[in-house]
Amino acid sequence: MITRDLDAFVAFARAVQPNFGPATAHAAFLVAPDGFRLAEQSAQDNAYMADAAAFDAQRASMQHRNLQRAISQVLPTVCFAGDPATPDAVFPNNVFGTASGTYIVGRMRHEVRQREATRGDIRAFFRDVAGLAEIDLSAQPHTCELTGALVIDRARGLGFCGLSERCDEEGARLMHEAFGLRATLLFDLAPGEYHANVVLAVLAGRAAVVCPNGFADPAVAAAIADLYAPHAVVCDGAEHAAFVGNCIALSADTVWMSDRAGAALSPAHRKLLADAGFRVETVALDAIEAAGGSLRCCIGEVY
């Protein structure tokens, strides 16, 4: 099922058992912020990006290394070298994704990001080292920026796809098929939003973080929160702006977000996550966040 029909999706989702696959990844991959700078093409539709003067390449590199060191305590994490010709490559989950037995290459909107999909070393890693079959969506014309646009409940095989300039309906269909999902809900992001994973996270299949201001239709945000109630964090404007929605569960008991997001997370919402069985881990990423993404955007998952 792939649909815009909210009632039909919710009815289907409530009947689905959490037996689709592992709820969290068994490894992660990163791409170093080598040549970290403002990507002017990406800034056209990413309102979270800072001005060029705010970019600090040395600090970004240090923080990114600290991120790898931190999450390596939870799961094996490899980091590929960056490339000064691809300044957005620090957010690899938009370009490369994995599902059971396969790796997927997405179609990026901007040419500067399309270059990332040609990385032979990353493709060879998934193909020759991880032994995964390839599904290459990068050459077809429909934009589909993988797990930036598509938030996945891996335990249930459910997708939540936010449509914007970074993903159209046909691109969503291609991702739904590539990831082999049981059902995907299509919805429009609010004007000014570019990726669903900035305003929504599903945590190990049993909790959700939702930023209602990021949805064109507030009823969609409310329905998703209700689907994961009582373990649904509904973010206020300050939490939304601080990237609380751009978090990720990397194990059954940890949720990771940036220091900035952790500082904005209200005590009540921190307790809600604790009640769901998660401790909140944070890493300083303010330099990386100048590029318009946060911790979840930096992490590619290997399933």
SS3 string of 162-212?
EEECCECHHHHHHHHHHCCCCEEEEEEECCCCCCHHHCEEEECCCEEEECH
Give pLDDT, residue 57: 85
Q: Sort 92 into a burial class: Cβ within 10 Å, 0-12 / 13-18 / 19+.
A: buried
Give pLDDT, residue 267: 98
The model carries a pTM of 0.94
- What is the rounded CA–CA span in Å between residue 17 and residue 29? 28
Give pLDDT, residue 44: 66
Supply 275's token pair: 């009640």
Give pLDDT, residue 43: 53
Give pLDDT, residue 50: 58
Q: What is the DSSP letter of 248?
A: E
Q: Do the Cβ atoms of 70 and 281 come closer than 8 Å?
A: yes
Backbone Cα Rg of the chain? 17
- Give per-residue pLDDT as tens, 124-177: 999 999 999 999 999 999 999 999 999 999 999 999 999 999 999 999 999 999
**pLDDT cut 90: percent of the chain above it:** 87
Q: What is the DSSP letter of 216?
A: S
- What is the rounded CA–CA span in Å between residue 266 and residue 110? 36
- What is the rounded CA–CA span in Å between residue 192 and residue 47? 6
- Give per-residue pLDDT as tens, 246-279: 999 999 999 999 999 999 999 999 999 999 999 9
Torsion of CA 148, 75, 207, 238, to 10 degrees: -60
SS3 250: strand
Q: Do the Cβ atoms of 184 and 150 come closer than 8 Å?
A: yes
- What is the rounded CA–CA span in Å between residue 194 and residue 190? 9
Place of tokens 């490369």: 96
**Fold topology of 2-302:** L-arginine/glycine Amidinotransferase; Chain A (3.75.10)
Strands (E), the chain: 2-3, 27-31, 77-80, 96-99, 102-105, 133-136, 150-153, 158-163, 183-188, 200-203, 207-210, 232-234, 248-251, 254-258, 279-283, 300-302
Give pLDDT, residue 104: 98
- What is the rounded CA–CA span in Å between residue 252 and residue 233? 17
Residues of the chain with pLDDT under 70: 37-47, 49-52
Q: Do the Cβ atoms of 86 and 116 come closer than 8 Å?
A: yes
Supply 11's token pair: 């009815």
Q: Do the Cβ atoms of 158 and 181 come closer than 8 Å?
A: yes
- What is the rounded CA–CA span in Å between residue 60 and residue 30? 13
